[in-house]
Structure formats: structure tokens, C-alpha cells
Amino acid sequence: MTAQRIPVLIAWVSCLLPLVALHVAWLASTWLGLIEACNPYWDGCTSISRAARQEPVIYWFRFTMQPYGWLLAAFWSCCFVWAARVHEAAGIRRWVLLGCGLVGALFYTLYATYLGEEGDLPRLLRRYGINLYFSMTVLAQMLLISIATSAGVLAPWLKRAFVTVLALLLGLGLASLPLQFVVDDRDAWLNALEWVYALLMAACYPLVAIAFSRTGFGLEGRFDDRADMR
């Protein structure tokens, strides 16, 4: 594989790996009778954590998801370099982007490590891990689209796709706050929102992969002047 394709591959794997791992864990837990059979996106019958934290499914989840933190760190490092090349004046936003992305990756690793462990401390670490992963990663994604928009390197349709996904993420995040106080089945609503939120977060990575590809971004130290940036 050439260096030209590595960032694109990292972005695609950053999307596909968690989706495959989580849905395999959910299907395995359902088949083994560890959770009830339903559609978690609609019924909210189980949280992501509950679908993956019981034996033997937890071993699959840890095997696939603990290394995911390193993959995310590589992804955000690529985004940091890409942002510098498309918009040299991004300055502090690039560093905040990298910081948020790496913090999110670190706390996802913390969450994956302690998922399934008993006790108050592991429970606390899981809660902080997943919440900081979600919030820091979405903030990093917002900074990335801000830099790309300022640089003017996104095709109109790609920019609209980015903004739509991020608007949905922000809307769902804000909606989850009042919903837990006004709906009868609070846990089911929050579980369903969690699954949809995770799916939308994953949808950002292919968009970044397309942006990398259309701007000719690779690890060879330059852009391809022939790349179609529109």
C-alpha cells in the first residue's frame, strides 16, 4: 500500500471497526440469550454497554475495541497534518482539534478496558470514559469541519453532509437532556439515542476519508496537484 492511501484507509477503518464490533456483540448477546431480542435503535431495549459486557461476548469486544483507541489516535494525527496542509492559518484550532481527538481516544480506551468489571471505581471510569469520548470526539469533528470550511476545500455536497451529520449529533445530544425528565420510559429512550448517536459519529469518518481522497492527501509530504478538490 502506498503512503497516499494510508490516511484514507485509517478513516474508513475508524468507521467500520466499531460498527462491526458492536453489532457482532449485540447479535451474539441476543443469540446467547444474554439480552432480549429487539431493535436497539428503535426499541431501546439495551444499551451499547449491556450488549457487549457479558461473558463470553466481552472477550470479543475487548479484543476488537481496546486497540481502537490507538487507531483513533492515528486518525486524529492524520487530521492534524491534513488541517495544516489545507489551511496553514488554522493555528490554534489544529492543536485543539488534535487535543480533543486524542483525549477522546484515551477515554474510549479507558471505557473499553473497564467494561464488564465490577465495582464502583470501574463503573465510574466507564461512565467518564464513554461520556468524554463522545463529547471530545464530536468537538474534534466540529473543529475539523470548521477548518475545512475555512480552507474552502470541500465540495458543496460534502460540506452539506458534514454539517447535517454534526447538526444531528448536536441536536440529539441536546435532546437527551430534557427527554430523560419528560418521557415515561427514560432508559429505553436514552439507549436508543445512544445507538443512533454512535452510528452518526461513525458516519463522519467516511466523509473525512472522502475529503482526504479528493484533496490527494497522503503521508508522502505533499498534495497531488492533480487531485479534484471539488
- Distances in whole angstroms, Cα of residue 28 to Cα of each of 8, 62, 126, 158: 30, 14, 22, 35
| Residue closest to 219 by CA, chosen among 11, 70, 13, 14 | 11
In this structure, of 126-130, 208-212, 219-223, the range with the lowest mean pLDDT score is 219-223
The DSSP call for residue 90 is G
| Cell numbers given for 93 | 484550532
| Helix, strand, coil tally for the chain in percent (to 5) | 75, 0, 25
CB 226 within 8 A of CB 38: no
Across 72-79, average pLDDT: 95
Residue 228: predicted pLDDT: 42
| Residue closest to 168 by CA, chosen among 141, 132, 143 | 141
The DSSP call for residue 186 is H
In this structure, of 59-63, 85-89, 138-142, the range with the lowest mean pLDDT score is 85-89
- Residue 166: HSE in the Cβ half-sphere, 13 Å Cα cutoff: 21
Residue 2: predicted pLDDT: 59
Q: In whole angstroms, what separates CA 196 from the centre of its chain?
A: 12
CB 71 within 8 A of CB 14: yes
pLDDT digits (tens, 9 = 90+) for 136-178: 999 999 999 999 988 888 889 999 999 999 999 888 878 777 7
| Residue closest to 97 by CA, chosen among 110, 84, 112 | 84
- pLDDT band for 229, please (50, 70, 90 cuts): very low
Count of Cβ atoms closer than 10 Å to residue 55 Cβ = 9
User: Which residue has better confidence, 184 or 106?
Assistant: 106
What's this model's pTM, rounded to 2 decimal places?
A: 0.87
Torsion on CA atoms 115, 118, 120, 123, rounded to nearest 10: 10
Which residues have CB under 8 Å from 76's CB, separation 6+? Answer: 97, 98, 101, 102, 104, 105, 140
Q: Among 18-32, 35-49, 77-91, 145-159, name the most confident range.
A: 18-32
pLDDT for 57 beyond 70 = yes
Burial (CB count <10 Å: 0-12, 13-18, 19+), residue 145: buried
